[in-house]
Amino acid sequence: MPLKIAVYPGSFDPVTYGHLDIIDRALKIFDGVIVAVARNSEKNSLFSVKERVKLLTEILEDRPVAKVDTFEGLLVDYVRQCEASVIIRGLRAVSDFEYEFQLAQMNRSITRDVETLFMMTSVPYSYLSSSIVKEVSMLNGPVDKLVPPKVKAALDAKFRG
**108: CATH:** 3.40.50.620
CA distance 147 to 161: 19
145 classed as catalytic = no
Nearest to 98 by CA among 115, 122, 79, 118: 118
Taking a C-beta distance cutoff of 8 angstroms, is the pair 108, 116 a contact?
yes
Q: Is residue 144 part of a domain?
A: no
SS3 state at 89: strand
**Interval 55-111: pLDDT, tens:** 999 999 999 999 999 999 999 999 999 999 999 999 988 778 888 899 999 999 999
Q: Which of 11, 19, 89, 134 does the annotation list as catalytic?
A: 19
Q: What percent of the chain has pLDDT over 90?
A: 86
43 classed as catalytic = yes
Cβ-proximal residues to 94 (8 Å cutoff; 6+ apart), any chain: none
Q: Is residue 84 part of a domain?
A: yes
* Segments of 16-128 assigned E as strands: 32-38, 66-71, 86-91, 115-120
Q: Which of 25, 63, 92, 108 does the annotation list as catalytic?
A: 92
Q: Into how many domains does the chain fold? A: 1
pLDDT the model gives residue 22: 97
130 classed as catalytic = yes
Taking a C-beta distance cutoff of 8 angstroms, is the pair 33, 88 a contact?
yes
Q: Is residue 69 part of a domain?
A: yes
User: Does the pLDDT of residue 44 top 80, yes or no?
Assistant: yes
Taking a C-beta distance cutoff of 8 angstroms, is the pair 91, 120 a contact?
yes
Domain range spanning residue 118? 5-126
Q: Which of 28, 43, 112, 160 does the annotation list as catalytic?
A: 43
Q: Which of 130, 134, 137, 152 does the annotation list as catalytic?
A: 130
Q: Is residue 102 part of a domain?
A: yes
Q: Is residue 91 part of a domain?
A: yes
112 classed as catalytic = no
Model pTM?
0.94
pLDDT the model gives residue 109: 93
Q: Is residue 131 part of a domain?
A: no
Q: Is residue 139 part of a domain?
A: no
Q: Is residue 148 part of a domain?
A: no
pLDDT the model gives residue 142: 96
